[in-house]
Amino acid sequence: MEQTPLAKQRIHLMDELRGFAVFCMVFYHGFYTLAYLYHLELGKILLYFFMPAEPWFAGLFILIAGISSNLSHSNLIRGLKLAGVALMVTLATWLVVPEERILFGILHFLSICMIAFGLIQPHLRRKQPFTWIPTAICVLLYLCTAQIDRGILGIGPLSIPLPDQLYATDWLAPFGLHSSSFFSSDYFPLLPWIFVFFAGTSLGRLAVEGRFPAFAYRSRVPFFSWLGRHALVIYIVHQPVIYGISWLVSAVASNF
């Protein structure tokens, strides 16, 4: 029987890695809610323990989003729809839990990235062969902008301080430039994270060409695969569920 070319097969490893990232995100947000909304000491302990891992699973999620975008023909439409969802998240959190409002979270970030890539995608050659150069450039740019929230641009001895005027207001908060009073409980600025996304779009060329390793096309953890395929729905639903569970945990804990 003739086999389906790898370029047309589903890459289950991407679903599973995305699902793992979503799984970690849900628990991290749960610990955050217990710590800062319900002021439980256990939540703080768990949050601080897992906090160093948060940029890694968030970066993994963003990288896979970039790879997946390279496989889609409707990134502009997807980005616009996601922007609408992100705005609803901002409105809902501002009205219901203003102390934990989300002004520019990961959905806002991904919607901008998808729209940007959707605008340039038609101008990219579909048959353009993969090279490591765009990915390496994205890694370099990420490192150069990784400390922009601290007012620093560059790497090590090649870094320079940015003008304080850039941090006087919050108008540039989507780019990582904001005043000390800015707050968003979920915050993923375009700098430096956009370069992780575009590194993913570069690596996505391997998927288009069917050049991912053979093991990437086989499913091994169906649970994570399912989570990965329903990541957006889980992101929207998980916060109200977490608030409900956290309230219950807080009520039980107060009786002891």
* CA distance linking residue 30 with residue 99, whole number of Å: 16
Q: What is the mean pLDDT of residues 218-236?
A: 89
Q: Using alpha carbons, select from 94, 90, 62, 86 the residue that is nearest to residue 195.
A: 62
- Which residues share a beta bridge with 160? 153
Residue scoring higher pLDDT (216 or 243):
216
Split at pLDDT 50, 70, 90, the class of 223 is very high
pLDDT at 178 over 60: yes
Q: Using alpha carbons, select from 176, 177, 182, 143 the residue that is nearest to residue 159.
A: 143
pLDDT at 127 over 70: no
Q: What is the mean pLDDT of residues 74-92?
A: 93
* CA distance linking residue 65 with residue 14, whole number of Å: 9
0.95 cut: is pTM over it?
Answer: no
* CA distance linking residue 16 with residue 229, whole number of Å: 9
pLDDT at 1 (0 to 100): 40
Q: What is the mean pLDDT of residues 1-28?
A: 79
Convert the pLDDT of each residue in 155-177 to its tens digit. Answer: 988 999 999 999 999 999 999 99
pLDDT at 2 over 50: no
What share of the chain in percent tops pLDDT 70?
92
- Which residues share a beta bridge with 232? none
Q: What is the mean pLDDT of residues 107-117?
A: 96
Q: What is the mean pLDDT of residues 244-255?
A: 71
Split at pLDDT 50, 70, 90, the class of 209 is confident
pLDDT at 132 over 70: yes
